[in-house]
Chains A and B, each alone.
Chain A
């Protein structure tokens, strides 16, 4: 068990900076997800921790030891790979005991530890099978057993569930969480699936373009994203963004105005160019509004496409009637569309004219230039209320 610390880690390839000045500190026993889009450098970060890649600059510490120049085998780590990477010429026992047999353990000790690991991942009685005789989930469990059998200080998992089908993935997710509780070992987990990161981790490290964007507990990332990228990446479907200017009485955008008192929000000043961010579940129909003071402004819109999900309906709102739902490449950049989540019994049809309002306490403002978050909750100032369940619509 150990802390993991990255200090100014940078990895450059010929003309690409894969990891750019990464500073992360992971506590002993913590479950941290590195999450980001494909090619953001999260796997390279993982490889520098594992020792499979040597960073161009910076230092990696595991425990209090500088491991930057140590070989992977001397770092006290174990890794589960995306493609599982079981040795196809060895049976399960040989696969699991591979690392032990390379070290000085006697046969009885090896056997005892392999059986213990097999029990943890529920693979008893399969030790003499070959990997190609097993299902994807079983192979994954063998890979995990191979990792835990050595009692590593740190577990590294590089998208271990990516190649499994959806149902198995959810199942293995729970098993991994159970395993983490049982072993109480530091786990660093790489994924591009923000839902996986949200559900499993103690803290999420959001990475984009080789840079760490935010490292915080899942709900903090969700409720108080550090910048536009985190706000857009965490949460599904993603947050609505609208560009606007702060004026004396509130906020002006191309298609609507919001009313709030800029004087009560010291982070912004009149005349600032900002990006407004609001999650679909914080957009409400005026008709449903319960008179809460947090609601700001009234937006007139036309419903476009309805997506019933069962427990909620996603409604695409057109703010500008002439635009007819332009299909822009980046939906986050759309200026005349809003996504709203309403309860499934709401009576709405495509093409209806509706009036909606925003929950001011959960409306974020970002700097239009840098994308950094300025304020979370421009009215009511209770945006960071930890008791609020973030995933459900509140209508």
Chain B
């Protein structure tokens, strides 16, 4: 019986396949088989295939889904470290194990303690002065260079521009040893300003090299912007009573506000965040103009590392830059895109 049955079962199979083929060709139709075929074609498409077909016919949903996936990915990768920093800062000292999504305990006092252990506000002030000073130097010198490159015709303009570009490719570390040596050399002319006649342990030791390093980018941004201001406006200002410099500051710079804001904010952030020179150009004492970086590292003693205070200090250090970016964001965006379109 079983054999028979098996044989009986086996036998129709090739038949069905054959009839299916024929039915598909439409040459011969067998009622029951044809219906079974139709159902089977539908059933062949699993949920995945149906989803694909659906996505092809209506791609908007897929685009939206992909937007969310990408947005969430970037938000998580950028914001999670910051979140985690906050968790570390809120965790009381000595309980730093196994922090992932929640702090081990709750100690907002760390944000106050930061200022009690060392004068962190002093470090912040130093960083602020250094970043602001570099930004001013970069904007003033970069504006003059941008005016010359963008609005004047003179022999050797392109080679000079290329030279600026080449210098911006140098690794800053290559300048460190000679600069450090230079800043530790005493100059009689500097004595009334710095006391011992050296630039080491003054803001100058940071402002000078950092503004030089970040200058080329600003020169390029400002050149692009200043070149776009019509000649007639500058001529009008000069006839009305300004010098060329006066025209630059009264007409060209105000009309290039997005470019100036972009160059200024980029420089400020870059100098504020800079590590290498900031770490080595002062002895780390706040009264000697040590920047934030030294302040954060100061919580690292010989026998203990106060991670929660380092984290709290890091968060406090980010706040000024975050405010600056939010305030200047609109101008930066229009500045960056305007520069991009021009090229």
Q: A187 CB to closest chain B CB, in angstroms?
A: 15
B46 within 8 A of A: no
A53 and B297 CA atoms in complex are apart in Å by: 59
Within 8 A of B (CB), among A74-117: 77-79, 81-89, 98-99, 102-103
Whether the pair A83, B232 counts as a contact (CB closer than 8 A) is: yes
Whether the pair A78, B232 counts as a contact (CB closer than 8 A) is: no
Among B232, B233, B235, B242, the one with the most A-chain Cβ atoms within 10 Å of its Cβ is: B235
Q: A220 CB to closest chain B CB, in angstroms?
A: 32
Whether the pair B243, A87 counts as a contact (CB closer than 8 A) is: no
- Across-interface contacts of B232 in A (CB, < 8 A): 81-85
B230 within 8 A of A: yes
Q: A52-B235, A102-B240 are in contact. Are A83 and B230 (CB under 8 A)?
A: yes
Q: A83-B230, A85-B233, A87-B233 are in contact. Are A73 and B238 (CB under 8 A)?
A: yes
Whether the pair A88, B239 counts as a contact (CB closer than 8 A) is: no
B255 within 8 A of A: yes
Whether the pair A73, B254 counts as a contact (CB closer than 8 A) is: no
A81 and B246 CA atoms in complex are apart in Å by: 19
Whether the pair A77, B230 counts as a contact (CB closer than 8 A) is: no
A50 within 8 A of B: yes
Whether the pair A146, B255 counts as a contact (CB closer than 8 A) is: no
B266 within 8 A of A: no
Q: What does DSSP make chain A's interface, helix, strand, loop or mixed?
A: loop
B160 within 8 A of A: no
A137 within 8 A of B: no
Q: Which residue of B lies closest to A101 (CB)?
A: B241
Whether the pair B246, A102 counts as a contact (CB closer than 8 A) is: yes
- Across-interface contacts of B242 in A (CB, < 8 A): 73, 102
Q: Which residue of B lies closest to A52 (CB)?
A: B235
B96 within 8 A of A: no
Whether the pair A102, B241 counts as a contact (CB closer than 8 A) is: yes
- Across-interface contacts of B241 in A (CB, < 8 A): 73, 98-99, 102-103, 150
A217 within 8 A of B: no
In this complex, the interface size class of chain A, counting residues with CB under 8 Å from chain B, is 20 to 34
A98 and B120 CA atoms in complex are apart in Å by: 47
A71 and B239 CA atoms in complex are apart in Å by: 8
- Across-interface contacts of A150 in B (CB, < 8 A): 240-241
B129 within 8 A of A: no
Whether the pair B240, A98 counts as a contact (CB closer than 8 A) is: yes
- Across-interface contacts of A103 in B (CB, < 8 A): 241
Q: B260 CB to closest chain A CB, in angstroms?
A: 13
B236 within 8 A of A: yes
B251 within 8 A of A: yes
CB contact between B251 and one of A73, A77, A87, A146 (< 8 Å): that residue: A87
B237 within 8 A of A: yes
Within 8 A of B (CB), among A128-166: 146, 150, 156
A52 and B242 CA atoms in complex are apart in Å by: 12
A52 and B244 CA atoms in complex are apart in Å by: 10
Whether the pair B230, A85 counts as a contact (CB closer than 8 A) is: yes
CB contact between B255 and one of A51, A81, A88, A156 (< 8 Å): that residue: A88
Q: Which residue of A lies closest to B251 (CB)?
A: A87
A250 within 8 A of B: no
CB contact between A85 and one of B235, B243, B246, B254 (< 8 Å): that residue: B235
Whether the pair A72, B239 counts as a contact (CB closer than 8 A) is: yes
Q: A190 CB to closest chain B CB, in angstroms?
A: 14
Q: A88-B255, A102-B246 are in contact. Are A72 and B238 (CB under 8 A)?
A: yes
Within 8 A of A (CB), among B300-334: none
- Across-interface contacts of A89 in B (CB, < 8 A): 254-255
Residues of B at the A interface (CB closer than 8 Å) are 230, 232-233, 235-243, 246, 251, 254-255
29 A–B pairs (Cβ distance < 8 Å), ordered by A: A50-B235, A50-B239, A51-B239, A52-B235, A71-B238, A72-B238, A73-B239, A73-B241, A73-B243, A77-B239, A78-B240, A79-B239, A83-B230, A83-B232, A84-B232, A85-B230, A85-B232, A85-B236, A87-B237, A87-B251, A87-B255, A88-B255, A89-B254, A98-B240, A98-B241, A99-B240, A102-B240, A102-B241, A150-B240
Q: In the A-B complex, list the 3 residue pairs whose CB atoms are closest, starting with the nearest.
A: A85-B232, A99-B240, A85-B236
